[in-house]
């Protein structure tokens, strides 16, 4: 078992709110360690599930702006069967983990949405997830760093220094996985600096 972790920033695009009735249409992943950003990437456009539909509100959102329409159009071409994509993804996750001798951990925002879809697909087509239940939610990670509640810990509340102007949010799954991966990477560096500042300070016991 690898003694250290490697972080897979996952972003997905879908045509509905839950997996099964609706489909995951693409998945993008950007991999980072605690010291190096984006050491590997993965991207797949998936065929819709058989007998699935497109949720009207979600389709309306995809059609709401020219940028969204452009991204939606890209999801209609070069589609890969979902089962083949999940096998390719699982093999790639294992390869990356073994290459870096680290344990794969999924990072998502929100994890309850992105990893719900991804986990469902992995279990549906593979019977298991290479991440198992290891998925870190960025908002939850942010809460103790800034001493804020959940509702005050969204991306919109964070200083701009944690974001890169070269990594925009485009609703392309790989672009957004990189944007999110950079944010998490910066938060890890911030956490590390806090630990370094506190390492020589005696922390009082919290008691029982």
Burial (0-12, 13-18, 19+ Cβ within 10 Å), 31:
buried
pLDDT of residue 202: 63
Which contiguous run of DSSP H or E holds residue 83? helix 82-100
Q: Is the pLDDT of residue 1 over 50?
A: no
What's the chain's average pLDDT? 94
Q: Is the pLDDT of residue 103 over 80?
A: yes
pLDDT band at 208 (very low <50, low <70, confident <90, very high): low
Could you write out the DSSP letters of every residue in 105-136? EEEETTHHHHHHHHHHHHHHHHSS-TTTT-EE
The SS3 of residue 141 is: helix
pLDDT of residue 204: 62
pLDDT band at 165 (very low <50, low <70, confident <90, very high): very high
pLDDT band at 173 (very low <50, low <70, confident <90, very high): very high
C-alpha distance across the termini of the chain, in Å: 33
**Hunting for tokens 């925002």 — which residue is that?**
109
Query: Could you give the domains of the chain?
Result: 4-196 (3.30.420.10)
Return all residues near 36 (Cβ < 8 A) that are at least 6 apart: none
Share of the chain above pLDDT 90, in %: 89
Q: What is the pLDDT of residues 69-94, one digit of tens each?
A: 999 999 999 999 999 999 999 999 99
134-143 average pLDDT score: 96
Return all residues near 136 (Cβ < 8 A) that are at least 6 apart: 7, 105, 106, 107, 108, 111
Q: What is the pTM of this model?
A: 0.92
pLDDT of residue 18: 98
Q: Which DSSP state fits 154?
A: S
pLDDT of residue 83: 98
Sequence length of the chain is: 208
Return all residues near 31 (Cβ < 8 A) that are at least 6 apart: 6, 7, 8, 9, 38, 39, 40, 41, 42, 96, 181
pLDDT of residue 195: 80
ω into 110 cis (within 30 of 0): yes
What is the number of alpha carbons within 13 Å of residue 71 lying toward its C-beta?
22
Q: What's the angle, vertex CA 14, arms to CA 34 and CA 80, rounded to 5? A: 85
């Amino acid at each position: 078992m690898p003694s250290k972790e490697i972080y897979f920033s996952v972003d997905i695009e879908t045509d509905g709110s839950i997996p099964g009735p609706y489909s995951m249409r693409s998945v993008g992943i950007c991999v980072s360690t605690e010291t190096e950003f984006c050491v590997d990437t993965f991207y797949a456009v998936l065929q819709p599930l058989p007998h699935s539909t497109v949720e009207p509100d979600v389709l309306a959102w995809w059609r709401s702006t020219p940028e969204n329409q452009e991204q939606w159009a890209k999801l209609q071409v070069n589609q890969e069967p979902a089962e083949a994509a999940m096998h390719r993804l699982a093999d790639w996750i294992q390869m990356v983990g073994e290459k870096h001798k680290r344990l794969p951990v999924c990072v998502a925002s929100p994890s309850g949405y992105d990893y719900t879809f991804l986990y469902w697909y992995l279990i549906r087509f593979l019977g298991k997830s290479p991440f198992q239940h290891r998925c870190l939610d960025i908002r939850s990670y942010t809460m103790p760093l800034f001493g804020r509640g959940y509702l005050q810990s969204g991306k919109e509340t964070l200083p701009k220094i944690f974001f890169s102007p070269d990594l925009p949010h485009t609703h392309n799954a790989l672009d957004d996985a990189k944007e999110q991966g950079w944010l998490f990477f910066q938060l890890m560096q911030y956490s590390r600096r806090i630990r370094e500042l506190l390492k020589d300070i005696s922390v009082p016991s919290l008691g029982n």
